[in-house]
Every structure is written in structure tokens, then in C-alpha cells.
């Protein structure tokens, strides 16, 4: 049992909920944590990141959404967590789903909460982790009725730029070695991979990407054979979809309060690059209240790594940083204390 397993007895009740998803063949199943006592209550929809996740956001032997839902329910929020389409008890197809499909599922979750008489329909918040931040931003851009958005390890740059930055970070230790043996090969690999990323991101579909990958890039000395060798890594349908995503148009349309929480040790979506892009997407005159929080010693998966230690996500006994939980819960509590807008 993890250290952050919810303490019994629970001051809220958990019920299984079923609702139509974003496609005709998708029925989503999840858990609604509903605080005991006065009704109606504000609510939060939790949205997981890339990869198939169940309603608890389970990964690396942890259930971070279970911990997060418990913390928020104790603060008086109803919390809806659901199995992603094609995962757990939910129907539908995960492998072929796009960001747009997953966003449609988020919108369906909001609709299900609005139909629940125990929920305050004017105070429904969206919270997405990593790729999930793209999906909640899209829904908030289209639905002016949501009360606020929380971006956990969120993304604010075009995803092709995020992927290229990750690639450079992975290559940097090899390029910075005193021994320069093989350095030219490493640089060429990085160059070719970046070219592949650019081609896929600029292509409207897989057929166009495959056609472009068969042409050389003389200016960079890249052959079609080199492109073909590295391309399969990025040609999975879900990866292609992600590489074509640019969150900025959606972020610019959001007109509700936004909280962005990112760990200082996050190398997947570092605050040093994502927060400036996020702030640039929200002009001062736009009416959006943006709050950014960098949590010390915390990773992309919101786990604390104590200074001087190295813990894998599996070995870390912590499912989610208490400091991150406090930042999230305190901000949400502050929002519901504000007067309702008409």
C-alpha cells in the first residue's frame, strides 16, 4: 500500500457513474466522489495524460488521481474520474483516438455533471495532466460555462517544439562528454530526428507525411534512407496527432481563471519554456486570471525527489507531492469563495 492511500472512514461517498462519451460507440465509466452534507457542491473533472489510463490515473504502481480526488473531496468538491475510452470499464477505441476525441470525452463528462442535481453546474472545474492539459484547454475554449482550469505539468508550446526540446535534452549528455568519439554521428541523428518531427508536424495526414519522408533534404544532407530509418518512432497515429497539436489557439480563447502547476524537475514540459508560452497566450486584456506555481523538487509526474537522491517513479513511495496538492486545493477553494458570475 502506498503512503498516500486514502484514510478511512471517508467523509464522502463514491458512486460508479456511466455516461455517453464523445462518440457513438463510447460509453465512459468512472467514479464520482461526492462530499456528504449540503448540496449542490462544486465539482472537478480529472483528465489524465498520454497513454491509456484508468479512472485512478494509474501508472508506475501509483494511483495519483485517487489521491487527488480524496484530497479535493475532503475540501468539499465532488470529483469525477473516469476510465479513458477503451480502458477498464469504458467502451470505445483508445489506439485510434485523437486529441479532439479525448476532448469530446471531457465535454461529455462536464455534461454528465451538469445533469446531476447534486452538482453546482456553475462551478465545474477542469483539471488535466500533461497531454490532458491540451484536452481541458480545448473544452474550456469552447465552453464558457466552466468555472476554471487547472493545468498540471501543462503544455503551452506547439508540441513539435516540445518533442524537439526533449530530443535535445536526451542528446545533450552524450554531446557534452569530453570524449568526442562518435559526436558527429550523434549530431546527425539529432538533425535527422528533428527533420522527421518537422515533416510529420507539417503534414496534414499520414499519407502526406510518408510521401514527404521519401524525399531528401539536400540543404541538410539528409537522405530518404536516413529519414525512413528514424521515422517509425514517430509514425504511430497517436504520436502523429500529438505532433500536430498547438495549444496556443485554445489557450487564447479561455476566459476563466487558470492555474498552472509544474514541478521544478519536470524535463518533459519544463516551466522554463511552458510558462512563458502560457503567459504569452493570455494577454492582460483578455480577462483570464492566470496563476503559475513551480513546485520545488517535483517531477513531471508530480512526485517529489528529495535533494541528493534518485528515485524512479516506481520506487518513489509518494504518488503526488503534498505541496502540489496544497497549491491545487488552495486555489480551487479560493475560486469557489468568489461571487458567482451572472
pLDDT digits (tens, 9 = 90+) for 83-137: 999 999 999 999 999 999 999 999 999 999 999 999 999 999 999 999 999 999 9
User: 99 and 16: one domain?
Assistant: yes
User: 98 and 72: one domain?
Assistant: yes
Residues 134-166 have pLDDT tens digits of 999 999 999 999 999 999 999 999 999 999 999
Distance CA 214, CA 193 (A): 14
Q: What is the pLDDT of residue 341?
A: 59
Q: Are 250 and 141 in contact (CB under 8 A)?
A: yes
Q: What is the pLDDT of residue 1?
A: 44
Rounded-to-5 percentages of helix, strand, coil across the chain: 40, 20, 40
Q: What is the pLDDT of residue 342?
A: 52
Antiparallel, parallel or unpaired: β 12-20 and 27-35: antiparallel
Residues 6+ apart with CB under 8 A from 95: 86, 237, 238
Residues 9-23 have pLDDT tens digits of 999 999 999 999 999
Residue 104 lies in a domain: yes
Q: Within 13 Å of residue 31, how many CA atoms lie on the same side as its CB?
A: 16
DSSP 3-state of 241: helix
Residues 164-210 have pLDDT tens digits of 999 999 998 888 887 777 889 999 999 999 999 999 999 999 999 99
Q: Are 270 and 339 in contact (CB under 8 A)?
A: no
Give the CA distances from residue 183 to residues 176, 196, 281, in Å, rounded to whole numbers and listed in that order: 9, 20, 38
Mean per-residue pLDDT, 204-223: 95
Given 187, 212, 243, which residue is the final one in a domain?
A: 243
Instruction: Tell me the pLDDT of the chain averaged across its residues.
Output: 94
User: 165 and 273: one domain?
Assistant: no
User: 283 and 142: one domain?
Assistant: yes
User: 109 and 44: one domain?
Assistant: yes
Q: Determine the structural domain holding residue 211 and report its residue range.
A: 159-243
User: 33 and 131: one domain?
Assistant: yes
Q: What is the pLDDT of residue 176?
A: 85
User: 151 and 166: one domain?
Assistant: no
Task: Provide the angle, in degrees to the nearest 10, between the axes of the packed helices 183-202 and 159-175.
Answer: 180
Q: What is the pLDDT of residue 2?
A: 61
Domain count, the chain: 2
Residues 6+ apart with CB under 8 A from 316: 60, 62, 303, 304, 305
Distance CA 136, CA 279 (A): 17
User: 172 and 196: one domain?
Assistant: yes
Mean per-residue pLDDT, 324-340: 93
Given 226, 243, 260, which residue is the final one in a domain?
A: 243
User: 166 and 35: one domain?
Assistant: no
Chain centroid, CA 96 distance in Å: 18
Residues 33-72 have pLDDT tens digits of 999 988 899 999 999 999 999 999 999 999 999 999 999 9
User: 83 and 215: one domain?
Assistant: no
Residue 308 lies in a domain: yes
CATH number at residue 28: 3.40.50.1820
pTM exceeding the 0.95 threshold for the entire prediction: no
Residues 265-318 have pLDDT tens digits of 999 999 999 999 999 998 765 677 999 999 999 999 999 999 988 889 999 999
Amino acid at each position: 500500500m502506498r503512503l498516500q492511500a486514502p484514510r478511512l472512514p471517508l467523509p464522502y461517498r463514491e458512486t460508479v457513474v456511466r455516461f455517453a462519451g464523445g462518440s457513438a460507440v463510447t460509453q465512459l465509466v468512472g467514479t464520482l466522489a461526492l462530499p456528504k452534507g449540503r448540496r449542490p457542491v462544486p465539482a472537478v473533472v480529472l483528465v489524465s495524460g498520454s497513454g491509456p489510463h484508468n479512472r485512478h490515473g494509474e501508472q508506475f504502481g501509483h494511483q495519483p488521481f485517487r489521491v487527488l480526488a480524496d484530497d479535493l473531496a475532503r475540501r468539499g468538491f465532488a470529483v469525477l474520474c473516469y476510465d479513458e475510452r477503451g480502458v477498464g470499464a469504458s467502451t470505445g477505441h483508445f489506439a485510434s483516438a485523437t486529441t479532439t476525441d479525448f476532448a469530446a470525452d471531457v465535454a461529455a463528462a462536464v455534461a454528465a455533471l451538469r445533469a446531476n442535481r447534486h452538482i453546482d453546474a456553475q462551478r465545474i472545474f477542469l483539471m488535466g495532466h500533461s497531454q490532458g492539459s491540451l484536452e481541458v484547454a480545448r473544452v474550456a475554449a469552447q465552453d464558457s460555462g466552466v468555472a476554471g482550469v487547472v493545468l498540471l505539468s501543462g503544455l503551452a508550446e506547439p508540441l513539435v517544439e516540445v518533442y524537439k526540446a526533449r530530443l535535445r535534452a536526451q542528446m545533450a549528455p552524450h554531446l557534452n562528454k569530453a570524449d568526442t568519439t562518435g559526436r558527429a554521428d550523434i549530431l546527425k541523428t539529432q538533425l535527422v530526428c528533428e527533420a522527421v518531427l518537422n515533416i510529420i508536424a507539417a503534414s496534414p495526414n499520414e499519407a502526406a507525411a510518408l510521401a514527404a519522408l521519401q524525399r531528401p533534404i539536400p540543404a541538410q544532407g539528409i537522405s530518404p534512407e536516413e529519414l525512413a530509418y528514424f521515422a517509425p518512432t514517430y509514425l504511430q497515429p497517436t504520436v502523429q496527432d500529438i505532433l500536430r497539436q498547438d495549444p496556443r489557439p485554445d489557450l487564447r480563447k479561455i476566459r476563466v481563471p487558470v492555474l498552472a502547476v509544474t514541478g521544478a524537475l519536470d524535463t518533459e514540459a519544463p516551466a522554463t519554456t511552458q510558462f512563458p508560452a502560457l503567459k504569452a497566450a493570455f494577454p492582460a486584456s483578455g480577462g483570464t486570471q492566470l496563476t503559475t506555481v513551480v513546485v520545488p523538487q517535483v517531477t513531471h509526474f508530480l512526485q517529489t525527489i528529495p535533494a541528493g537522491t534518485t528515485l524512479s517513479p516506481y520506487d518513489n513511495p509518494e504518488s503526488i507531492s503534498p505541496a502540489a496538492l496544497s497549491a491545487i486545493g488552495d486555489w480551487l477553494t479560493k475560486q469557489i469563495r468568489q461571487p458567482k458570475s451572472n
